[in-house]
Chains A and B, each alone.
Chain A
Amino acid sequence: MSEIIEAIFEALRLVLSLDADLIEISLRSLKITLSAVVIASVIGLPMGAWLAVYNFRGRRSFIVVLNALMGLPPVVVGLFVYLVFSRTGPLGVLGLLFTPTVMILAQVFILVPLIASIAHQVMRDLWREYADLLSSLDASLWQKIGTLLRDGRHGLLTASLAGFGRGIGEVGAIMIVGGNIDHATRVLTTAITLETSRGHFALALGLGLVLVGLSLLVNILVHLVAHIREVEE
């Protein structure tokens, strides 16, 4: 119990002291995950809408695979990306291993199936409502997808936020491809892992609280913005 209280004080001390390292690590966490979420949303949200609208042969299998990929262990994704970008790998010449760029890429791989899957569920419900009307108005496939994305945007926000939650707390993949290098690729989760292994539990828990706080903050901000927009409409 005392350790937890100590951790809370440690977290407060860290935050209030505006510890330079903490700020750097937190900002890097945010930057990497937000980038990954934006990229994965640009791919995953339209994919979800497309899956809801377009009835092609093999759609069912596609969705099954997508759902399976959602459960893909991040370490495995990390290992795969590592092998592709390692010096002897096919993209080794790019020299991206152990950089934030490749960490973003690994997260995109993890987040696309998740975001597309949730988006598909949201879009499927809306499509049930809209299908006859949009067909009647002779909308093209892309117009249908665009309409679903626009009118279902509040539900899609949930998909992206779920992606953010998954990304910001992810450690396995970015540890492998990022290497947890101080002042280069260290983020909140990998720092927590490191401090825990060093026996600095209070510091680790403190970082953990910052992580939770950041995650909450982003969620609250996004919902506030969405709410203001909704009221304005």
Chain B
Amino acid sequence: MSTATTLPIQLKGATVQRKGKVIVGPIDLSVEGRGITMVIGPNGAGKTSILRMLHGLDALSEGSLHWQGGAKRVRKKQGYVFQTPVLLRRNVLENLVYPLKLRGMARVKATKHAMDALAHVGLNTFAQHAARTLSGGERQKLALARALIMEPELLLLDEPCASLDGNATKAIEAILISARKTGTRILMTTHDMGQARRLADDVLFIVKGKIHEAGTAETFFAAPETPEARAFLNGDILP
């Protein structure tokens, strides 16, 4: 990995439209520093859309998005786990070898590297299984391992623990905590407020396509500023 960075990412009035309707924005945001930012908010608030925007998957209709070092390097420096994991129609091991080979790594080296990554998420016994035969939780682990394998500087995770049981969630959280320790910047969404409290350094609270509240996890969970945030944390319907 080169040392060049794509952080900070700066959004100014960034807006995404679909079918003439604003689905997210305008958003002002700067992603930099360290740690885990938890993006939370109700269904349809725009959490996925924000993550996709930061990854350069959807074009802005208005505003600007600026990656340090330019757009070309972004994908090489970011790992993304989709809300519904997308797996290649290959076996489990090949799903991990694939991104390495895209970057020109030799097969032998890539295979060894991929086996290590599989062991890291506890999927090594599945190496030769077709990826489509994995369970929902196993798919998520595989998708996470694939995002991690390039040692990205920014990890974008869209509900990485959505269908995981308690043990699997703990395992994933341990992986994320160790990634944070090695300096990986993480932006993730979750509907699990327990997880949000456990992992978050910062919180972005999204309502109706906008950042409704932003701050450190400590303040947000202890003393949310807005009635919407208070209601959300209480599990109430938003006012």
Binding site for B on A (CB under 8 A): 129-130, 132-133, 135-139, 143, 147, 151, 233
Contacts and interface: CB of A to CB of B under 8 A. Distances in A.
A151 to B, nearest CB: 5
Contacts of B78: 136
A138 B130 CA distance: 23
B86 A133 contact: yes
A106 to B, nearest CB: 36
A137 B102 contact: yes
22 contacts: A130-B88, A132-B57, A132-B82, A132-B86, A133-B86, A133-B88, A135-B57, A136-B55, A136-B75, A136-B78, A136-B80, A136-B82, A137-B98, A137-B99, A137-B102, A138-B75, A138-B76, A147-B88, A147-B98, A151-B89, A151-B90, A233-B91
Interface residues of B, number: 16
A151 B80 CA distance: 21
A137 B80 CA distance: 8
Contact of A130 (B55, B75, B86): B86
Contacts of A137: 75, 98-99, 102
Nearest to A126: B89
A129 B85 CA distance: 10
A121 B86 CA distance: 20
B98 to A, nearest CB: 7
Contacts of A147: 88, 98
A contact face: mostly helix, strand, loop, or mixed: helix
Closest 4 CB pairs of A and B: A138-B75, A133-B86, A136-B80, A151-B89
Q: Which of B55, B78, B86, B89 has the most CB of A within 10 A?
A: B89
Interface of B: 55, 57, 75-76, 78, 80, 82, 86, 88-91, 98-99, 102, 130
A139 B86 CA distance: 15
A67 B80 CA distance: 37
B57 A136 contact: yes
Nearest to A146: B102
Contacts of A130: 86, 88
Contacts of B76: 138
B225 to A, nearest CB: 34
A139 B89 contact: no
Nearest to A129: B86
Given A133-B88, A137-B102, 9 more contacts: A132-B86, A133-B82, A136-B57, A136-B75, A137-B75, A137-B98, A137-B99, A139-B102, A151-B90
B187 to A, nearest CB: 14
Nearest to A133: B86
A86 B102 CA distance: 48
Contacts of A151: 88-90
A133 B80 CA distance: 8
A233 B75 CA distance: 30
A147 B87 CA distance: 13
A231 to B, nearest CB: 11
Contacts of B91: 233
A137 B82 CA distance: 12
A233 B91 CA distance: 8
